[in-house]
A and B are shown apart, each in its own frame.
Chain A
Amino acid sequence: QSVLTQPPSVSGAPGQRVAISCTGGSSNIGTSYEVHWYQQLPGTAPKLVIYGNRNRPSGVPDRFSGSRSGTSASLAITGLQADDEAIYYCQSYDSSLSAWVFGGGTKLTVL
C-alpha cells in the first residue's frame, strides 16, 4: 500500500492526451514539499521527467507537463508516441513518516 495513490494503468492512442493522477495527503503533497515524476522504460532505471510540480529537466519534451492542487498532482502527456509507453511514478516527501515516498506506479499503454 503506497502513501501516494496512482491508477494502475492508463492508455491512449498515438497523438492523444493522457493524464495520470497522484493523490496524497496533508503530510506530503498537501505540504510545501513538491511532487516529482519519473518515467521507467522496460528494463531501465527511472528517469526524472517533471520536478518541482511542473518543471521539465533539460531534454524532456514539452509534451510532458505537471500540475499540483491541494493534496493531488497530475502528469499530462500530449501527442502520445509509442516510446512514451512506460511506467510513471510520482514522488514526494512525507513529513509525518520522515520518509521519501513514491506512488505505486501507473503503466501507460499506447494503443
Chain B
Amino acid sequence: EVQLVESGGGLVQPGGSLSLACVASTSAFSTFWMHWVRQAPGKGLVWVSHISDDGTTTAYADSVKGRFSISRDNAKNTLYLQMDSLRVEDTAVYYCASGLKWFGASFDYWGLGTLVTVSS
C-alpha cells in the first residue's frame, strides 16, 4: 500500500507564502499522477492542482491559478505545492492524493493532510 505524508503547513499572514511537501513511500511514485485537494474547516473537498507522472503537465483550479505552483521530484519521491499571495480563503487542510495516469482515474491514496491557516 502507498503511504503519503504531507508537511509544511502552518500559520501565515495574508499575502505570505508557504511551501508544502508530500513524500511517498514507494518508488512507484514516478508512475502516478499526483494531486492536491483541500478542505476548508467544516466544508467539502475541493481539487486544487494536478501534475503528470513526468512533471511536464500541470493544472490548477481557477481559485489558485497564478498564485500556486505544483512540482515534483521523482528521485526523492516528493510532491510540492508552492503557495504565494495567500488569502484568508486559502485556509484549509491540504491533502496530496495519487491516481493512475488518466483524467478519469480515481484518487486512490491520500495523505493525512497538513493544515494551512492564513490569518493576521
Tell me the A residues contacting B by CB distance below 8 Å: 2, 32-34, 36, 38, 40, 44-48, 51-52, 57, 87, 89, 91-93, 95, 98-105
Contacts and interface: CB of A to CB of B under 8 A. Distances in A.
Contact of A48 (B62, B104, B107): B107
Most chain-A Cβ atoms within 10 A of its Cβ — which of B44, B45, B46, B110?
B45
Given A33-B104, A45-B95, A101 B110 contact: no
Given A100-B50, A102-B46, A91 B107 contact: yes
Contacts, number: 58
Contacts of A36: 106-107
Contacts of A93: 103-104
Given A46-B95, A100-B35, A100-B50, A57 B108 contact: yes
Contacts of B107: 36, 38, 46, 48, 91
A51 B108 contact: yes
Contacts of B106: 34, 36, 48, 51-52, 91
Contacts of A46: 37, 45, 95, 107, 110
A59 to B, nearest CB: 10
Q: Identify whether the interface residues of B are mostly helix, strand, loop, or mixed.
A: strand
Nearest to B103: A93
B59 interface: yes
Nearest to B60: A99
Given A46-B95, A46-B110, A100-B35, A92 B104 contact: yes
Contact of B44 (A95, A98, A99, A102): A102
Contacts of B28: none
